[in-house]
A and B are shown apart, each in its own frame.
Chain A
Amino acid sequence: MEYVSPIDERVREPVAFAPRPAALAGKRVALLDITKARGAEFLDRVERRLHEHGAETFRIAKETFSKPASPDVIEEIALRGDLTVEGLAD
């Protein structure tokens, strides 16, 4: 029996992860706050630990947790950072 599929059946290539760095020293780490409650507290702790490992950090926030990050946010992370840690919170 032939049917019309309600699904977009195109197969999309999975996006490969960026290569993992061997060490954190000297790396620039973006700390992405999605603006959910207490996410900043989590990132504060992560930031201290990253500094102990010799990493540099910078903070960046999404406009709202309920929507995907804007292209500007993604671009800034890509331009300035080697790594990203996202605080999902709650």
Chain B
Amino acid sequence: MVAVERDFTLPSVDGAPVSLSALLAQGCPLVLLFVHADCPTSLLALRRLASLGEGAALVCVAEESPEVAARLARRTGFSRPVLAEAAPYAVSRRFEVATVPTALLVDRDGAVVETVVGWDTTAYERLFGVELGGEPRQKPGCVARGLHEEGPGGLDELEDMLDRGWSDGLPVVPPTPERVEATLGGRDPGHSLGPVPPAHGEATLERVAACAVLAGCRPAYFPVVVAAVEAALEPVFNAHGIAVTTQPAGPILVVNGPAREQLGLNSGMGALGPGFRANATIGRALRLVLTLTGGARPGALDRATLGHPGKLACCFAENEEASFWPPLHVERGFAADASTVTLVAGDAPLSISDHRSRTPEELAATLAWAAAGQWSPFWWPMDDTSLFVICPEHAALFAEAGWDKERLRAAMFEAVVRPAAELRRGETPPLVQAAADELPVHKWTSAEKIQLVVAGGEAGRFSAVFGPCDGMKTEPVTKEIQWST
């Protein structure tokens, strides 16, 4: 084999490493086509060149990770070999590719004998000796990644993570083998928790640990993340529907038991807000497992019309100490000293202010009526869970009155009821459309659809309710956190 100038080896999208010298040994001259997925002209070039036969001496170099490069080829119908060049784009830089698409005609020694920049139908027809036709005849290209994404100090590791798409849009912690190993804590990296919908990537513990690292978790949080993923993968949670729906649905994690104090999970002041690493990163880790391992990328398989900010991360602990009710995990059949994660699917929280009610009946009505407009003001009844987060001062009022959860649920359920005729406006279910005018319709199909947990600071009378994922047929799932490896 002749020594090839500027030889390189890159992974092809089917995983095998391919060198320029090996390609040239199969046939030359050869056209190297540099592209990336964010460039419309690159997509145009791949689509137009997809019609070239198997005999065309054409190889695409995508400035992308292998999985993005593979998707690019599928989307465009491009069936010639595709090589993936992730950051820092050394090959692009070595060939001085400033624009994509760029086609380089390379001779048997690896020397560039002709360059086509952007899309130029005439030039490509000459390169391949075929009629390509079609419009537009010409289109300017885009800035190549290799040119603009490496600064003088070398590639920024955090930028690299975002280039790979290993993010929710915010900077992440790079999952180095050392960090992932520390997070795994001796667990079997190949052990799978199961395929994650919607794209069914296997949630091996190694990948889950990589997501925990990316999210910023301390290794000590990992058992909670694992329990959350296990809960999400229970069929009754319907992670598939929640991932791909146009609803703004996302998982809400509620942690109970000793894990709260051991890990510094906030259940008190600002429990639903920012500022606490365990809350923020555990919630974020689950989101990254669903997005990266499961493939639920916003705007792609995640079809949410709006989404909501809590889809970045939504994890809090129950303030068991401020509640006289049995905590959520005990209510759901676990021992009081067990640590658990409960997953509930919901949309954005709505704050409920009530500083004036002095009886449990009044406060129950305030809480329930706040939720009456959820999903849609006239969409009654709802058949999925509304998760109420009761603040300690509100909880204390019910405690003083001796109301247990069942009594409060029943009062809330009974408070929100209207005759069918009043609800026939805008979006109304068929049941209400067909009902007699005076038929009483409740906001929920049963009191059991009202879930109650206590969280928040000791001062202030602000509770909240997470809206339901109506029609999603999702049920809350609780998993015990397993500390041992």
Chain A residues near B (Cβ < 8 Å)? 1-9, 11, 14, 37, 64-68
Q: Which of B15, B292, B430 contacts A6 (CB 8 A)?
A: B292
29 of the cross-chain contacts (CB-CB < 8 Å) are A1-B174, A2-B177, A3-B176, A4-B175, A4-B176, A4-B206, A4-B213, A5-B166, A6-B211, A6-B288, A6-B292, A6-B293, A7-B166, A7-B201, A7-B207, A7-B292, A7-B293, A8-B200, A8-B201, A9-B15, A11-B66, A14-B74, A64-B473, A65-B471, A66-B241, A66-B245, A66-B473, A67-B473, A68-B240
Contact of B465 with A by CB under 8 A = no
In B96-135, the 8 Å CB interface with A consists of none
Q: Are B210 and A5 in contact (CB under 8 A)?
A: yes
Contact check, A11 vs B14: say whether CB atoms are below 8 A apart. yes
Closest residue of chain B to A63 (Cβ to Cβ) is: B473
Are B210 and A11 in contact, with the CB atoms below 8 A? no
Whether A2 lies near B166 (C-beta < 8 A) is no
Nearest-Cβ distance from residue A80 to partner chain B, whole angstroms: 25
Cα(A35)–Cα(B210), bound, Å: 38
**Choice from B202, B209, B289, B430 contacting A4 with Cβ under 8 Å:** B209
Known: A11-B13, A11-B14, A67-B473. Is A6-B241 also a contact (CB below 8 A)?
no
Known contacts A2-B176, A6-B288: A11-B206 contact under CB 8 Å: no
Q: How far is the CB of A88 from chain B (nearest CB, A)?
A: 11
Please classify the interface of chain B as helix (H, G, I), strand (E, B), loop, or mixed, using the class held by over half of its residues: helix
Chain A residues whose CB sits within 8 angstroms of the CB of B289 once the complex forms: 6
Specify the chain B residue showing the minimal Cβ separation from A37.
Answer: B430
Which of B's residues lie within 8 Å of A, judged by CB? 13-15, 66-67, 70, 74, 157, 160, 166, 174-177, 180, 199-202, 206-207, 209-211, 213-214, 238, 240-241, 245, 288-289, 292-293, 430, 471-474
Q: Are A3 and B174 in contact (CB under 8 A)?
A: yes
Q: State whether A6 touches B175 (Cβ < 8 A).
A: yes
Q: Measured between alpha carbons, how far is A38 from B111 in the docked complex, in Å?
A: 62
Bound CA span A66–B180, Å: 34
Given A6-B214, A6-B289, A8-B201, verify A66-B238 contact (CB < 8 Å).
Answer: yes
Closest Cβ neighbor of A65 among chain B residues = B471
Chain A residue nearest to B175 (CB atoms) is A4
**Cβ-defined contact, B293 with A8, below 8 A:** yes
Cα–Cα, bound, A59→B472 (Å): 23
- Min C-beta distance of B430 to chain A, whole Å: 8
CA distance A2 to B181 in the complex (A): 13
Q: List, in ascending order, chain B residues with CB within 8 A of A3's CB.
A: 166, 174-177, 210
Known: A4-B206, A7-B201, A7-B292. A66 touches B472 (CB 8 A): yes
Q: Which residues of chain B come closer than 8 Å to A4, judged between CB atoms?
A: 175-177, 180, 206-207, 209-210, 213
| Inter-chain contacts of B430 with A (CB < 8 A) | 37
B202 proximity list for chain A (CB < 8 A): 8
